[in-house]
Structures are given as structure tokens and as C-alpha cells.
Amino acid sequence: MAFLAAAIQMNAGRDKAANLDCAERLLREAAKRGAVFAALPEVFSWRGRRDEAPAQAESLDGPTLTLMAKLARELEIHLLAGSIYERIPDESRSHNTSVLFGPDGARLAVYRKIHLFDVDLPGRVTVKESAAMRAGGDTVCAATALGPIGMTICYDLRFPELYRELAWAGAKIVTVPSAFTFPTGEAHWEVLIRARAIENQCYVIAPAQFGPNVHGFADYGNSMIVDPWGRVLARASDHEDVILASIDLDYLATVRSNLPALTHVRLRPPR
């Protein structure tokens, strides 16, 4: 079984309407070019100051995901709404939430980002994602007509144990909608994506944000689709982009058969 997948690269800002117009336009382009699966980046619908996030957060039935469900149904594609700020009742913090829709517009899976980026380097940078976000706690591998899809978000990429759990759950494709910063992205983005693909013998689809953002620094971009052998099948340039690659599950089966590393795993973390 083989099909065409798309990773969409954006530069989302504080204008939600403009961001959603951009996302819709690029999703339509992906479908027109033959993609039956299309993935948007992290926080594709709104990206602003963290103190503004509570006012922009939405429920799973809010306008952003309602639009995504409508587009999935109209375009007849599997659609990954990279992530949105999901409102948590009676709390100022939000979840960073990725939602997968089927070609009938049905919600197939919801993943809430587990790993939050908190760092304090005096005189250099202070980021406390947990001040605005509440971490999720569940790994998610969705059964779909395209095969099992494992869901992760951005900083999760640095935690290989999550991806191994997804492989054990059957994932053949893993999504990583992201907004990697330029310095860490330049050093680690490709290395980590290819490592997660190689060690778990799966396809990795990683749509990303690029360019200057509202926080005063730049995002790395370089959205990628990588195969189970670790080859980069498609990579975005430094602009708004739609990249496409063939996802061949027969080839994945061949890789796993010829190098059966997943059957040789001996150390598993305690449950």
C-alpha cells in the first residue's frame, strides 16, 4: 500500500483569520497535488504572546477544528490539525493539542503534548511553557485506513522513549508538527527526525513553522518527510511550502523484515 502525504510549512502569527485562510489554501493545494494525508504545523491557527493564549484557546468543537473537519470531508483527505491551544475548563492554562481527522470529517484521535519546554538561562533566555500549558499524559496511536499513525508534537522529539512506545503500539507513521527555534533546529532537527525514523523503522512526517515569530526569534522551518531507512524524502525551503512524498507501507515492511531490530528490543521501561 502506498499513498501521497503532504507536510505544510507556515509562519503563523496573531491574526487567527489570516492563519486559517493560509492553512485552508495550502491544504487545498496539497489535495490538488494528490495528497490523501496532509499535516499542518504546531500552533498553526494562532501564535502570540503566552499571556494572550487563554483568550485564543478553543474547545475541540470550536471554530478552528470545525473548519478542519469540514476541509477533511470536502477534500476527502486524512488531515492532521498540527496543534491548537485547547481550552481547559476552569483553568487559565491550555493543552497544546493535535487532532487527526478522517476523510469523512470524523475526529479519529486527539493527542495532548506530553513534554513541555521549560528553560532558564540567566542573561540569555527564559522560557516556561508550563506556565501557559498543561502537559498531557497519554500516548496516542490512531488506527486509520492509511495505517497506524502515532502522534507527537515538537519538543516531544527529544524523548525517544515516547516514539518507542508508539512503535510498540503499532505505529508505522509518526507525526511531529513543530515550531523548532532556529539555533536548536539547525543543530538537531534533522538528526532527531532521522533518528526517530531509523530506530523505530517508521515514516516521520514533520510539518513546521518557519521564519520570524512574535516571540522575537526565528523558527527553523525545514519541514520534512523521512522514510524508515532514515532518508529525507522531502524538505521545505525557507518559505511557506507544501512538500509531498510517497508513504509506502510495503517498503516499510521490507525494512522491518530485512533489519528486524524492533523484535530484538530487550530493555523496556517499567509500567
The residues annotated as belonging to the active site are 42, 113, 154
**Residue 220 burial (CB count, 10 A):** 23
Written as nine digits, the cell of 211 is 521564519
Strands (DSSP E) along the chain, which ranges?
Answer: 2-9, 37-39, 78-87, 94-101, 107-112, 118-121, 125-128, 140-142, 149-151, 173-175, 203-206, 210-212, 218-220, 224-226, 232-235, 241-248
- Spatial contact of 98 and 74, defined as CB atoms under 8 Å apart: no
- Residue type for position 62: G
Q: Which residues, listed in sequence order, are joined to residue 181 by a DSSP beta bridge? A: 219
Q: Give whole-number Cα distances, 184 to 97, 147, 155, 190, 266, in Å.
A: 22, 31, 11, 10, 32
